[in-house]
């Protein structure tokens, strides 16, 4: 018998899993997502989440509680009489009544190799730390932060040039495949759970604005990882004098190159920038409010002379 599933998710990352579960023949009895947020150029329009829009296309009921503090919201959840809840980047902490509010509990698709990178930003943190592999895990949720037992795992390699955006898109598809497999095993009574190790626990804190500025006193490896770990969003940035005033410029891609000089010094016409050890060359750049440009196109319109100091 197909499962009766409550799906809980919000961003684009969650959508392939919702669609895959529906495509596998399971009954999506309800979708929970974050409430519409102000959008548009002036912030006057309410914009529905990607999951909200996908659920409406499927013809599934959508619920957008701000939280589950209201007993009525918790009762509505239980009244769906679902077999299981599937959670992928929902964005709300779930109280125990919700975790136990279906026959089989809640299963989460998490974008790391737990217990490494528990928390909010596992994709960005893995790249920023220079990890060479990550993955997706299907975990049965408990009261802790990504501490529940693991059902299925798939490892994904991280190459030296991969950005957070590229890894996001890869894991998004892997997660949909893996969750579909997990629900098939659950439906057949064949899903087994393995407790997480107590060793190797690392937390993936939410990315703060204070850490997006590039620090060229760090090694070229660290700067390169920082740039690609924050690409395309929120974007690592530096300040550059353009037409007599300092402007923020985002570096959305880079490569490590040879070079030695004081940290932050531009070494050549290709915008090679010296780091604390080694050098980096940005490959994609974006001025505030401008388009993302290849570095060669950016430099054609905004040349940066060797010897310029990058702040």
Q: pLDDT band for position 110 (50/70/90)?
A: very high
| Domain end marker among 203, 232, 248 | 203
The DSSP bridge pattern shows strands 116-119 and 37-39 to be unpaired
Q: Which CATH number do you get for residue 128? A: 3.40.50.170
Is residue 204 a contact partner of residue 125, using CB atoms and an 8 Å limit? Answer: yes
Cα torsion for 19, 20, 22, 25, to the nearest 10°?
A: 160
- Average pLDDT (238-264) is 95
Whether 130 is in a domain gets the answer: yes
pLDDT of residue 38: 87
| Domain end marker among 183, 203, 223 | 203
Query: What are the pLDDT digits (tens) for 271-289?
Result: 999 999 999 999 999 999 9
Whether 311 is in a domain gets the answer: no
Closest CA to 93 of 120, 62, 122: 120
In the predicted structure, residue 121 carries a pLDDT above the cut 90:
yes
In the predicted structure, residue 42 carries a pLDDT above the cut 70:
no
Q: Which CATH number do you get for residue 272? A: 3.10.25.10
Residues 90 and 225 in one domain: no
Residues 155 and 274 in one domain: no
Whether 221 is in a domain gets the answer: yes
Residues 225 and 197 in one domain: no
Tokens of 6: 């409550």
Query: What are the pLDDT digits (tens) for 200-242?
Result: 999 999 999 999 999 999 999 999 999 999 999 999 999 999 9
User: Across the chain, what does the average pLDDT equal?
Assistant: 96
In the predicted structure, residue 41 carries a pLDDT above the cut 70:
no
Residues 182 and 227 in one domain: no
Whether 105 is in a domain gets the answer: yes
Residues 188 and 221 in one domain: no
What is the domain count for the chain? Answer: 2
pLDDT of residue 311: 79
Cα torsion for 33, 8, 200, 130, to the nearest 10°?
A: -50
Residues 43 and 170 in one domain: yes
| Domain end marker among 203, 225, 255 | 203
Residues 244 and 230 in one domain: yes
User: What domain range includes position 296?
Assistant: 209-301
In the predicted structure, residue 43 carries a pLDDT above the cut 90:
no
- Side-chain-facing half-sphere of 48: CA atoms under 13 Å: 13
Residues 112 and 248 in one domain: no
In the predicted structure, residue 45 carries a pLDDT above the cut 70:
yes
- Average pLDDT (235-252) is 95
């Amino acid at each position: 018998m197909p499962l009766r599933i409550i799906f809980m998710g919000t961003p684009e990352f969650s959508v392939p899993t919702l669609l895959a579960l529906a495509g596998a023949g399971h009954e999506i009895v309800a979708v929970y997502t974050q409430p519409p947020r102000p959008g548009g150029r002036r912030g006057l329009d309410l914009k529905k989440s990607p999951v909200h829009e996908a659920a409406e296309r499927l013809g599934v009921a959508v619920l957008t509680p701000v939280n589950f503090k209201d007993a009525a919201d918790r009762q509505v959840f239980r009244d769906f009489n679902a077999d299981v809840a599937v959670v992928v980047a929902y964005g709300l902490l779930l109280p125990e009544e919700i975790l136990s509010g279906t026959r089989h509990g809640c299963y989460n698709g998490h974008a790391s190799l737990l217990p490494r990178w528990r928390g909010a930003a596992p994709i960005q943190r893995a790249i920023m730390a220079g990890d060479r592999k990550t993955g997706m895990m299907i975990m049965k949720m408990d009261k802790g932060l990504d501490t529940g037992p693991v059902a299925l795992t798939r490892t994904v390699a991280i190459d030296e040039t991969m950005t957070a955006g590229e890894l996001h898109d890869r894991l998004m598809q892997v997660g949909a495949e893996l969750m579909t497999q997990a629900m098939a095993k659950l439906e057949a009574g064949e899903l087994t759970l393995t407790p997480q190790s107590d060793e190797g626990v690392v937390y993936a804190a939410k990315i703060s604005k204070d850490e997006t500025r590039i620090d060229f006193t760090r090694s070229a490896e660290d700067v390169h990882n920082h740039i690609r770990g924050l690409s395309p969003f929120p974007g690592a940035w530096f300040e550059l004098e353009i037409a007599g005033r300092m402007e923020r410029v985002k570096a959305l891609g880079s490569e490590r190159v040879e070079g030695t000089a004081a940290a932050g010094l531009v070494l050549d016409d290709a915008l090679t920038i010296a780091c604390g050890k080694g050098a980096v060359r940005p490959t994609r750049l974006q001025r505030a409010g401008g388009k993302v440009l290849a570095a060669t196109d950016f430099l054609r319109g905004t040349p940066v002379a060797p010897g310029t100091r990058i702040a």
